[in-house]
Amino acid sequence: MKVNEIKKIAVVGAGTMGNQIAMQIANSGFPVACYSRKETTVLAAEKFASGWYKKNIEKGKMTPEAGEEAQKRLSFTNDLKSAVTGADIVIEAVADIVEVKKKVLAEIDLYTPEHTIYASNSSYIVSSEFANSVKHPENVLNVHFFNPALVMKLVEVVQGPHVSDEVVETIFEFSKAIGKTPVLVKKEIYGFIVNRIFSAVTKEACYLLDQGVASIEDIDLAVRNGLGHPMGPLQLLDLTGIDLEYDVLMEKYKMTGDLSDKPSPAIVERYAKGNYGKKSKKGFYDYE
Active site residues: 123, 144, 156, 195
CA distance 234 to 240: 10
Q: Is the CB of residue 180 less than 8 Å from the CB of residue 153?
A: yes
- C-beta atoms surrounding 62 within 10 Å: 18
Give the dihedral of Cα atoms 6, 12, 17, 19; nearest 10 deg. 80
Under DSSP, the state recorded for 286 is: B
Cα angle value 280/245/47 (rounded, 5°): 40
Q: How far apart are CA 99 and CA 203, in angstroms?
A: 25
Measured in whole angstroms, how far is the alpha carbon of residue 167 from the centre of its chain?
19
Sheet with 181-185, edge to edge strand ranges: 74-77, 32-35, 9-12, 89-92, 117-120, 140-145, 154-158, 181-185
SS3 call for 181: strand
Are 210 and 264 in contact by the 8 Å Cβ rule? The answer is yes
Strands 154-158 and 140-145: antiparallel
Q: Which residues are CB-contacts of 109 (< 8 A; sequence separation ≥ 6)? A: 133, 134, 135
**Cα separation of 71 and 18, whole Å?**
16
* Pairing assessment for the beta strands 74-77 and 140-145 based on DSSP bridges: unpaired
